[in-house]
Structure 1
Amino acid sequence: MIKIANAPVSYGVFGLARPDLVTLPTGDALLGLVRDAGYEGIDLGAHGLFGTGDSLVDALDRHGLGLAGGWLDYPFAGTDAEFAAAFDASLPVLDDFALVAAAQDGPGPLPTIADSGDAARKACPGGAPELQLTGAAWERFVTRLEKVAAHVRSLGLEPTFHHHAVTYIETPAEIDAFLRDTTMDLTFDTGHLLLGGGDPATDFARWAPRVNHLHLKDADLRILEAAKGSDNPLRDVWEKRVFVALGEGDLDLDGIATDILASGFSSWLVVEQDIVVMSEADLQRAIADQVANRDTIRRWFA
């Protein structure tokens, strides 16, 4: 059974947020917005946004929402000290995932593991062949990733890995290497795949047996092209709204939705529309977009 969720990032609540420009929704307000828009679940967002421990379980229950997943990034290509610090910082977050999983009916939450990227990747949205890790650097990346996977599984949870713009798992070639050399399954993100040069129409079918989590988003690739050469392409891409409401970008929504249903996928599908909210009007547009996104996909996902 496919269950439909949304995420704080769709309302501007994430690492690129501009709270200096506009007051963003609180955790409790976000839960209410997602519930009222017709979603069954939500991603975790920053740890503590919806509370921690029992208060997190209570907040989700109060709004009738399940926890779909949640972003945890690690500097898999960084120094030993950087990776160790990130690993230790993730432990209480993963403990909360386990606590929610024990109380939640239906599909459990999937800790959504990702690479942190670095300055070289952040300067090149879309990736480049010369940036792909090889040799000892790749072996170290895989070893660290498997360490995280083993800990997640020791808690009775199943991890998922999110390929993502401006990280070391971004392009189809990098995703192929990840699937070849690791045991972790994949969060298939339609929007980030488009940014990385992939094609959801063909790539989903060949990766489907390893897809255990879905992020459905649309992207306007003209924004990515326009950001090339910028002093801060990462921020430019997000602030200029590279991710648009479903049906307004370059995603073949009918094609991917049909393929998802045909694959037999049965878990959380998270609708995401990463947006940097820079005004009250932007916030109201984001709220309306998530209602519209839910209505748009009712054709396939009731």
Structure 2
Amino acid sequence: MTSEIWVADAPVNYGVFELGADKGGKTPDGEECAAFVAQAGYEGIDLGPSGFLGRGGDFQDRLRRHGLALAGGWLDYPFRSNEDFRAAVGNLDDRIANFLEGAEVNPDRPPRPTLACSGSPVRQANPGGAAPGIGLTDEEWKVFAENLQHVVDRFRAAGLEPTFHHHVCTYVETPEEIDRLLALTDVGLCLDTGHLILGGGDPLTALRAWGDRINHIHLKDADKSALDAVVKGRGDMRAAWAGNVFVPMGTGDFRTADFMPDLLASDYRGWALVEQDYIPAPEDPFDTAFRAQKANREALRRWLP
């Protein structure tokens, strides 16, 4: 293993995200989640919802007690509309401050603020991005890029280098949309292997094509046939997640044994965040996600000891 790729876990893997309460299952609080992540063998943790892991000294103390660095954190905005963007971006100073709190704990392993598109009802209703006429117009792309660049520049001014996460059910989902974004901005790319598969791409091809722009990695396995079934049934974003499109590492369409050697041989240095989004059911034992994340970590030890 290169000592310059660090492995992290995320609250979303424990049901802590907007869809996590869908089935009414129990999710951990910030202290319980941090303990699970450390015990499962990870070096870092994603931020989760603002304040989930605490703020200020409480947040920093939690990271130190569990031996964790802050790896990144999700932050989406409606970049395609100036009006919507201006209404939403008022929280940016506070979010930047939250990342800076975490960055102080492990300055040698800085977090990547992970920017993303908020999507829209039409994109959320069409997972996979294949439906015609649901992409951005040239003018919308221009607005999108300018608003995104504004946020990127604000983070850089604070001493943090952000990344952009392509994501199912948003306006940057397919390989063609990712290409367009990279051409219009100078932001680094968070390559999410699972979301790329569902968006019609191939992670190994992406690593080779976009390698010089990739500054963050989400290692995520996905079942394309599960998404195809959702699309065939005219399901939306919620149906996709509930349909278990994201699966344990090594059990889906992500060719881990092909991708990982190329990643290690590349110039990539930074965080590799393991993800398997989880919606807990009421009958699930409380340690269900912990056991899954420990297994995902073990599945990667061949390449990332």
TM-score (norm 1): 0.96
Total equivalences in the alignment: 301
Matched, 1:227 2:258: no
**3-state SS of paired residue (1:238):** helix
**3-state SS of paired residue (2:45):** strand
| Structure 1 segments of 4+ aligned residues over 4 angstroms from their partners | 229-232
Matched, 1:199 2:223: no
Aligned residue in 1 for 2:45:
42
Aligned residue in 2 for 1:108:
110
Matched, 1:187 2:193: no
**3-state SS of paired residue (2:113):** strand
Aligned residue in 2 for 1:60:
63
What aligned pairs does 1:99-178 form with structure 2 within 5 A after superposition?
99-128=101-130, 129-178=132-181
> Would the aligned equivalents of 2:23 and 2:279 in 1 still touch at CA under 8 Å?
no
Q: Which runs of 5+ in 1 are unaligned?
A: none
**3-state SS of paired residue (2:8):** strand
> Would the aligned equivalents of 1:110 and 1:158 in 2 still touch at CA under 8 Å?
yes
Q: Which runs of 5+ in 2 are unaligned?
A: none
What aligned pairs does 1:12-31 form with structure 2 within 5 A after superposition?
12-18=15-21, 21-31=24-34
Determine which structure has the larger helix proportion and give its number. Answer: 1
Q: Aligned equivalents of 1:163 and 1:264: distance in 2?
A: 21
> Would the aligned equivalents of 1:12 and 1:283 in 2 still touch at CA under 8 Å?
no
Q: Aligned equivalents of 2:25 and 2:278: distance in 1?
A: 13
Aligned residue in 2 for 1:270:
273
What aligned pairs does 1:77-92 form with structure 2 within 5 A after superposition?
77-78=80-81, 80-92=82-94
> Would the aligned equivalents of 2:22 and 2:279 in 1 still touch at CA under 8 Å?
no
Shift of 1:231: 5.8
Shift of 1:131: 2.1
TM-score (norm 2): 0.95
Amino acid corresponding to residue 85 of structure 2 in structure 1: F
Q: Aligned equivalents of 2:142 and 2:22: distance in 1?
A: 39
Amino acid corresponding to residue 122 of structure 1 in structure 2: Q
> Would the aligned equivalents of 1:7 and 1:42 in 2 still touch at CA under 8 Å?
yes
Shift of 1:286: 2.1
Shift of 1:55: 1.5
> Would the aligned equivalents of 1:230 and 1:236 in 2 still touch at CA under 8 Å?
no
Q: Identity over aligned residues, as a percent?
A: 45
Between stretches 225-234 and 189-198, larger displacement belongs to 225-234
Shift of 1:114: 0.2
Shift of 1:230: 4.3
**3-state SS of paired residue (1:215):** strand
Shift of 1:276: 1.1
> Would the aligned equivalents of 1:72 and 1:90 in 2 still touch at CA under 8 Å?
no
